[in-house]
Amino acid sequence: MLIRVVVLVAVIYFIIQAVLRGRKDLAEQEFSLREVNFRWLGISALLYAAAMIPMGIYWFRMLHALQQSPRFLGTFRAYCVGHLGKYVPGKAMVVVLRTGLLAGPQVNKTIVGASVFAETLTMMAVGAFIAAAMIAWKFSDQTWLLLMSIGLMLAAGFPTIPPVFTAVVKRLRLKSDAVDVESCLDGFTWRLMLFGWLANGIAWCFIAMSLWAVIQAMPERVFELSDGPDVRHLWTSFPSMLASTSLAMVAGFLSGLPGGVGVREVVFTQLLQNPYGEITALIAPVLLRLVWLAVEFALAAVLMIGWRSKRQTNCAKSQEIS
């Protein structure tokens, strides 16, 4: 119980720090939230929430392929709550939260922990691949960003190759009295890896559209300063949105910094400033960070409250029967 309280306090503390940092960044740019269109921020939030679904489905499918039997809602709850762990330095809290919330007779902590790494690295590898493709197509002058994307793709993707992933986990000699870990790992196949790439590819498209919606929420004066393609048209600006969100998130996550702060902003500036202006490049990432944080916190809260309510109802029914 004490450990759970400590974890909860740590997560809440770093979330508050992320919110305060976002407000400070907006103040430094002399930008007020009263200038934004909250309808578009709501659309951005819905798009980001939609991105969670295919990623959660992939993790659920992976767990069952690894001979675990969690329910989908329990898996999705652990997945969403785990996102809050990325705001704690080191990112290890993501694994702690997801493994702890999914603990039970139907799952093994060793397998769950390994699956969290595989799912996360798959998301990063797909994001880096998409970033490399978009940068090569639309930002061919950004050689160092292209090389960074390729490097991140190889670094994140290589451990998720089925034979490599299986060999690494076995090399660690992870033991469990409850299950044969090595036999469970046989379920991590090339077919599962392909499904993960497709699911995460869909998710990254929703994430890119979430950024586009945030930019639509910004005041008209921002668009008037833009010399590039009209950012209000999704089709013409989508490659830029896709390249910037994918590379910024991947680089930010792999940096180990809380929420990828600082790293994301550098990438966004490089890919958004020239086509859409300095104001967009500086303010959009901050608004995006706040929207995503709100979505992650809201999803975690709703799913946790729903889970506890259902648990209390089941306990009450059990007592009535007995």
Per-residue pLDDT of the chain (322 residues; tens, 9 = 90+): 445 555 556 656 656 666 666 666 666 656 666 778 899 999 999 999 999 999 999 999 999 999 998 999 999 999 999 988 887 776 778 888 898 888 777 788 888 999 999 999 999 999 999 999 999 998 888 898 899 999 999 999 999 999 999 988 887 765 555 567 778 888 999 999 999 999 999 999 999 999 999 988 887 766 555 555 566 677 788 998 999 999 998 988 777 666 566 677 788 888 887 777 777 778 888 889 889 999 999 999 898 887 665 555 554 454 555 5
CA atoms within 13 A on the CB side of 160: 26
User: What residue has token string 């036999």?
Assistant: 183
CA distances from 50 to 47, 306, 313 (A): 5, 19, 29
The pLDDT score that the predictor gives to residue 316 is 46
Per-residue burial over 178-206, b = 16 or more CB atoms within 10 Å of its CB, e = otherwise: eeebeebbebbeeebbebbbebbebbbbb
- The answer to whether 160 touches 128, Cβ cutoff 8 Å, is no
CA distance 77 to 68: 16
- C-alpha 206: how far from chain center: 12
